[in-house]
Structure 1
Amino acid sequence: MGKISYCTTCKNRLWQLAETFPGNLQRVAEAGNSEIVLVNYHSDDELDSWIRQFQPSIDSGILRYLHQRTEPHFHASKAKNLAHLAATGRYLVNLDADNYLGDTIPTWRTLWREQPDLLIHGFSPDKNRPQRTEEEASRIRPDSGNGTYGRIGLPRTRFLALGGYDERLLPSAHEDQDLMDRAATTGLSIVRSRQSGRVAIRNSHRETMRYSGIPLDWWDARELNKERSAENLRLGRLTANLGRSPMKVLLNFSEETAF
């Protein structure tokens, strides 16, 4: 059915990646015909040094590691596109840094084997409750994450035809739903695949916006992004990022390139 690339981005989230990444990498290695593409999006939390312990996985091709060193602020669509465009698989899966793969690989492989042209939306039944105030954010349990929008996979050809995530959206909020809405409008079937067990480390919306470089909170950013997304759908603008310029990165600590 083809190779699967799991695309992860990280901006100063090593404290979460240290919990999720080793197990995810092990599952990908055991599954075979898979890879993880990890983007260091200008982190300053020693991610470069920490990832060196996985050099054998880089050497074997199971891990592709990109370091983006020019844009200081995190932009979810740009970072996710970078990871997806650097991937080599037939199927591309967005896997947020705070998400666990769990036992999903065989299930997703079966779905794509039976229906190759399919977008899979991973979800868990305990949907994230909005977190807005400081008091609410302080009550988040680190083991209660949901990650419902942290696992989205589709064929590479479909991702490229859509132009990837819309980089004209504000840095965070609604970019995953926008991608799925545009995909559905083009006729791509979407299946939700349930994931049990520990799915993700929960973040507050304040944490999500922390490195965005804009003064808006997540709720305001989401509303503005929803408006842009709805307008694009209404006007039939389903392909994003026309004329996008490649972004420079250091690949696997050794190769200056751009995606």
Structure 2
Amino acid sequence: MKLSYCTTCMGRAHHLKQTLPRNLADNVDWSRPDAVEFIVLDYSSPDDLLEWITTDPQLAPYRDAGILRIAQAPGQDKFRHSHAKNMAHALATGDYVCNLDADNYLGAGFTSYLRSIFLRRPNAIVATNRFDARLNAGLYKGSMGRIALSRTNFHLLGGYDESARFKGWSGEDTDLIMRAFRAFLRPVWIRNRDYLRVVMHDDMERVRNTDFVDADAELARIAALDGSNMRPLLRYVLNRAVAPRVANRGAPIGSGAVRFPS
């Protein structure tokens, strides 16, 4: 079994510099290096992401072993969550894929944890609990994007929904989970919060590079769905529960040019 961690980055290299080295150290078993890969998609990141990830000596052993793979998506002017994530997941070669946001720490042993679940429940979807308010503050706020499932099931669900309803900060991750439930994938909630720590930062950084009209409205949407008020969260979940089960039907997902730096 091979696991693929898929990370997208646009203007968040400063976070990835903190999380990626630790995630690699905590989750790569050098006795079986082919069992895991970390894919980083440079979604036209305006910072020094590419230079750092291709030259940093600490990352060199992982690059050389093919465990750490970097790809570029040139020409992107705004961060489109669903499109970027679909592009990164399309590069995965693992049997199972896991979205890993740039500001997330996996925690020591997370790969073994996922492997143990998928060995017993190959059609599980592993995710954070949307109704656990403790995960919407402090060291855990920003961990809701952690979703793992088989690569086959990811594609059967149509990946992340790239339609206009998911413009800006929009809950495309919760939508994927809801569609997986409707497809009868078995939910498994990540209960060990040691696996869900993040680099702490303000909400403005979450939306800075996204496509939005009103920043205040975007920030208000984040606040409304932060788990402190059940009504908007329940309303959102109910609305997604009646959405089409398969996203992007009839359209390619994650389309666009991708290149691999030498």
How far did residue 69 of structure 1 move? 1.0
Residue identity matched to 2:142:
G
Written as runs of structure 1 = structure 2, the 5 A alignment for 1:107-126 is 107-122=113-128, 126=134
CA distance in 2, matches of 1:48, 1:80: 18
CA distance in 1, matches of 2:167, 2:112: 35
Written as runs of structure 1 = structure 2, the 5 A alignment for 1:170-181 is 170-181=167-178
CA contact (8 A) 1:127 1:146 kept: yes
1:240 to 1:76, Cα distance in 2 relative to 1, 3 A = same
User: Normalising by structure 2, what TM-score?
Assistant: 0.81
1:162 aligns with 2:160: no
1:86 aligns with 2:91: yes
Which SS does the other structure have where 1:250 is aligned?
Answer: coil
Which SS does the other structure have where 1:249 is aligned?
Answer: coil
Residue identity matched to 1:63:
L
CA contact (8 A) 1:120 1:192 kept: yes
What are structure 1's unaligned runs of at least 5 residues? Answer: 130-140, 255-259
CA distance in 2, matches of 1:232, 1:20: 31
Query: Where does residue 44 of structure 1 map in the other structure?
Result: 46
Pairing partner for 1:191 from 181, 188, 198: 188
CA contact (8 A) 1:28 1:35 kept: no
- Specify which structure has the higher proportion of strand: 1
CA distance in 2, matches of 1:69, 1:230: 36
- CA-based RMSD: 2.7
Query: Where does residue 132 of structure 1 map in the other structure?
Result: none
Residue identity matched to 1:250:
R
CA distance in 2, matches of 1:180, 1:228: 13
What are structure 2's unaligned runs of at least 5 residues? Answer: 226-231
CA distance in 2, matches of 1:228, 1:249: 33
Query: Where does residue 240 of structure 1 map in the other structure?
Result: 247
CA contact (8 A) 1:165 1:175 kept: yes
How far did residue 215 of structure 1 move? 1.7
How far did residue 49 of structure 1 move? 0.7
User: Normalising by structure 1, what TM-score?
Assistant: 0.82
How far did residue 59 of structure 1 move? 3.2
How far did residue 77 of structure 1 move? 0.8
CA distance in 2, matches of 1:94, 1:191: 15
How far did residue 72 of structure 1 move? 1.2
Question: Percent identical across equivalent pairs?
Answer: 33
Which SS does the other structure have where 1:108 is aligned?
Answer: helix
How far did residue 26 of structure 1 move? 2.2
Which SS does the other structure have where 2:147 is aligned?
Answer: strand
CA contact (8 A) 1:99 1:150 kept: no
CA contact (8 A) 1:125 1:194 kept: no
CA distance in 2, matches of 1:42, 1:18: 17
CA contact (8 A) 2:128 2:147 kept: yes
CA distance in 2, matches of 1:51, 1:241: 32
Aligned residue pairs: how many? 238
CA distance in 2, matches of 1:187, 1:38: 30
Residue identity matched to 2:42:
N
